[in-house]
């Protein structure tokens, strides 16, 4: 009977060691999850800021281009009106004709 008790103690000891090791691995994975979550959160915020900066830069460039086009159009219209008023009237008539 004593041999049976000694035999049962050894497997329990191995099981306890295995459970202990698995518990330790689980705890480490939980810690890693927290670190990764924080890291990805920071990365996501950084990427969002970079994209917002790019959008703002594009918006400013488009606004500048629109102003330049408006300036060119207004200068062209003034030149056209000052050189030949009848030409402007004819151009408007042609546009209305289409």
57-66 pLDDT, tens digit per residue, is 999 999 999 9
Query: What is the residue-wise DSSP string for 75-87?
Result: HHHHHHHHH-HHH
pLDDT at site 49: 96
Cβ atoms of residues 62 and 55 within 8 Å: no
Per-residue DSSP letter, 24: H
How many H-runs (helices) and E-runs (strands) does the chain carry?
2, 0
Give 1's pLDDT tier (boundaries 50, 70, 90). Answer: very low
């Amino acid at each position: 009977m004593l041999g049976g008790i000694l035999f049962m103690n050894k497997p329990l000891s191995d099981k306890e060691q295995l459970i202990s090791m698995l518990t330790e691995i689980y705890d480490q994975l939980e810690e890693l999850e927290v670190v990764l979550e924080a890291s990805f959160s920071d990365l996501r915020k950084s990427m969002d800021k970079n994209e917002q900066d790019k959008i703002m830069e594009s918006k400013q460039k488009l606004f500048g281009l629109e102003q330049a086009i408006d300036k060119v159009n207004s200068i062209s219209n003034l030149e056209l009106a000052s050189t030949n008023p009848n030409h402007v009237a004819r151009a408007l008539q042609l546009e209305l004709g289409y």
